[in-house]
Structure 1
Amino acid sequence: MVYAIVKAGGRQEKVTVGETITVDRIDQAAGATVTFPALLVVDGASVTTDAKVLSGVKVTGEVIDEVKGPKIDILRYMNKTGYRRRQGFRAQQTRVKITAISGVK
């Protein structure tokens, strides 16, 4: 089993080939190919963390579509003053299907 830890949108994601992940919005159209930098690669019993070796590893994926994340409710309240403020937020996200992890020995 081969998997990789990649940096995607300010976070690290564990990915395998064929898996679909949700990352922060990527400015690419549906069907476009994106690459992610690998931080760690596990190939069976061998674990690769060397930066020189990982520079040759490419994790590629295909953009499926754009979605909205879960709604976050923000409520500010101060008692005895009548101050209330309500706000909501939904992050724009992109779904990516991992197609290949290449360059692994």
Structure 2
Amino acid sequence: MFRSTESEPAVYAIVRAGGRQEKVATGDVVELDRVSGEPGSTLELPAVLLVDGSSVTSDAAALAKVKVTAEVVAHTKGPKIEILHYKNKSGHRVRQGHRSKLTQVKVTGITTGK
């Protein structure tokens, strides 16, 4: 996650994205599992928790009004993961690799719905 060197932001949210939860604030660029959409398109992320200054919102009814909007920046790939299966004396050796498909999104706004 790319974040500026400022202190803790006044408003941030924990959002659900790609089976994980990410802490985001306005202006953050976050890498998520691949989402559909071309660079420049917008999407909405569901909020799990909202922190606005000293108030913390975790009620499902209140979080239904919260909107976290993000803009797709680019589609990328994660680091190469190399997998090697080896068995001694039998000559069994199998190499595999894997790279996750990711999407960089920039959080454009968090509206609390008040």
Q: TM-score range by the shorter chain?
A: over 0.9
Match of 1:39 among 33, 36, 48: 48
What is residue 88 of structure 2 aligned with on the other side?
79
How many angstroms apart in 1 are the aligned matches of 2:113 and 2:11? Answer: 9
How many angstroms apart in 2 are the aligned matches of 1:16 and 1:47? Answer: 14
Question: TM-score, normalised to structure 2's length?
Answer: 0.89
Q: How many equivalent pairs are there?
A: 105
How many angstroms apart in 2 are the aligned matches of 1:20 and 1:95? Answer: 7
1:37-83 per-position Cα deviation (integer Å, ceiling 9, x unaligned): 00000011111000000001010000001011011001111112111
* Higher strand proportion: 1
Tell me, yes or no, if structure 1 residue 62 matches structure 2 residue 71.
Answer: yes
Match of 1:51 among 44, 60, 69: 60
Tell me, yes or no, if structure 1 residue 94 matches structure 2 residue 94.
Answer: no
What is residue 11 of structure 1 aligned with on the other side?
20
**Which one-letter code corresponds to 2:99 in the other structure?**
R
How many angstroms apart in 2 are the aligned matches of 1:53 and 1:70? Answer: 38
Structure 2: segments with no counterpart, 5+ residues: 1-9
Structure 1 residue 87, shift from structure 2 partner: 0.7
Structure 1: segments with no counterpart, 5+ residues: none
Q: Give the superposed CA RMSD.
A: 0.9
Deviating runs (4+, > 6 A) in structure 1?
A: none
Tell me, yes or no, if structure 1 residue 21 matches structure 2 residue 47.
Answer: no
Match of 1:30 among 39, 62, 73: 39
Q: Determine what percentage of the aligned residue pairs are the same residue.
A: 55
